[in-house]
């Protein structure tokens, strides 16, 4: 019998909508971390500059962002 080999090539493509690295910067500004898998207790957000990575934001950080301030107005 003849064995067949299948090779896959992963090529990163730039969608053209943002400069390289901008998505990573946006993630960092949201107090997130770009990585392949998010830990438990983290929320998956937008994609990062490397398309296979996601921005992982801590649920504690997310809750702090929308915490109501005194006087009934939300803090941002």
Residue ranges covered by each domain of the chain: 22-65
Q: Is the pLDDT of residue 16 over 80?
A: no
Q: What is the pLDDT at residue 29?
A: 93
pTM for the full model?
0.56
d(CA 41, CA 55): 13
Fold category of 22-65 in CATH:
Antimicrobial Peptide, Beta-defensin 2; Chain A (3.10.360)
d(CA 54, CA 33): 8
Q: What is the pLDDT of residues 23-74, one digit of tens each?
A: 999 999 999 999 999 999 999 998 899 889 999 999 876 555 555 555 555 5
Nearest CA-CA partner of 15 in 48, 56, 57: 48
């Amino acid at each position: 019998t003849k064995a067949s080999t299948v090779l896959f090539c992963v090529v990163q493509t730039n969608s053209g909508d943002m400069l390289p690295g901008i998505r990573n910067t946006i993630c960092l500004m949201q107090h997130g971390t770009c990585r392949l898998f998010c830990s438990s207790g983290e929320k998956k957000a937008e994609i990062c500059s490397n398309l296979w990575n996601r921005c992982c934001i801590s649920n504690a950080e997310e809750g702090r962002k929308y915490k109501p301030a005194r006087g009934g107005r939300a803090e941002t």
